[in-house]
Amino acid sequence: GAGVSQSPRYKVAKRGQDVALRCDPISGHVSLFWYQQALGQGPEFLTYFQNEAQLDKSGLPSDRFFAERPEGSVSTLKIQRTQQEDSAVYLCASSLDIYGYTFGSGTRLTVV
Amino acid sequence: DQQVKQNSPSLSVQEGRISILNCDYTNSMFDYFLWYKKYPAEGPTFLISISSIKDKNEDGRFTVFLNKSAKHLSLHIVPSQPGDSAVYFCAAGTSGSRLTFGEGTQLTVNP
């Protein structure tokens, strides 16, 4: 597609529930990033893939967070046993190089 | 440890005037800098970038200035238009491609 597509746009989860967030990057983009944006804050880095290789996962806040990109295209961010502090917008971005990522519209996760 | 800071949470200007958004950083290893614009319910959209070897980059109404000695960059929008009203994020990175974002500045351009 023409842009980065994320689904679902909105997700409400009960505390303790597992969630999976999907990102379809721009076709041909080698690099894929996940960011977490809390209300009133800037995006914060979670993890980075180059093709199917996860090169940096230092931003993942806990071992409840897991990301994969098994075929070097679509990526899934999974959060196990969700907590209220996980409520945020999760942004995916893809790029060909270090300049000018293209971001998706994000998934707004609300944990109740 | 906030490595990229935007100290003004909001800015209001009149249409046709200049908007100046500021950003400070602490990590001297950052070698490229970007500005993103964000509308509600949308992801950030890339606006303009600058590498550390330059001190100015211009694209139409948008100009980014970088002062490495002061670890400061700014985005100038001139003339400002009502459609420029959005949240603007400053971001910085190194060759490893991970970006660190500021908290954002809400720009409102009044007709």
**What is chain B's pLDDT, residue by residue, as a tens digit (111 residues)?**
689 999 999 999 999 999 999 999 999 999 899 999 999 889 999 999 999 999 999 999 999 999 999 999 999 999 999 999 999 999 999 866 689 999 999 999 999
Nearest residue on chain B to A36, alpha-carbon basis: B101
Residues of A in contact with B96 (CB under 8 A): 56
Which pLDDT band holds residue A99 (cuts at 50, 70, 90)? low
- pLDDT of A107 > 90? The answer is yes
The residue-averaged pLDDT of A1-17 equals 93
Position A2 scores a pLDDT of 75
User: What pLDDT score was predicted for residue B18?
Assistant: 98
pLDDT 10s digits, B2-15: 899 999 999 999 99
- A103 contacts A92 by C-beta, under 8 angstroms: yes
A37: Cβ–Cβ under 8 A, 6 or more apart, which residues?
A43, A44, A88, A89, A90, A91, A106
pLDDT digits (tens, 9 = 90+) for A37-93: 998 899 999 999 999 999 999 999 999 999 999 999 999 999 999 999 999 999 999
Question: Going by C-beta distance under 8 Å and a sequence separation of 6 or more, which residues neighbour residue A57?
Answer: A46, A47, A48, A67
Q: Which residue out of B6, B59, B99 would a mutagenesis test of the A interface target, given it has the greatest number of A Cβ atoms within 10 Å?
A: B99
Of A44, A99, A105, the CB nearest to B42: A105
Q: Residue A1: pLDDT above 60?
A: no
Q: In this predicted structure, what is the pLDDT of residue A98?
A: 62
Q: Max Cα separation, chain B?
A: 42
Task: Give me the pLDDT at residue B90, please.
Answer: 97
Does residue A18 have a pLDDT over 60?
yes
Count of residues making up chain B: 111
Predicted pLDDT at A61: 95
A45/B97 Cβ within 8 A: no
Distance of CA B33 to the CA centre of its chain: 8
Q: What percent of chain B has pLDDT over 70?
A: 96
Asked if B40 is an interface residue toward chain A (Cβ–Cβ < 8 A), one would say no
The predicted structure's pLDDT at residue A101: 82
Measure CB to CB from residue A41 to each of B96, B99, B103 and give the nearest one.
B103
In whole angstroms, what is the distance from residue A100 CA to residue B97 CA? 10
Cβ-Cβ contacts under 8 Å, B89 against chain A: 42-43
Q: Which one has a higher pLDDT value, A96 or A5?
A: A5
Between chains, do B104 and A100 touch, taking CB under 8 Å as contact? no
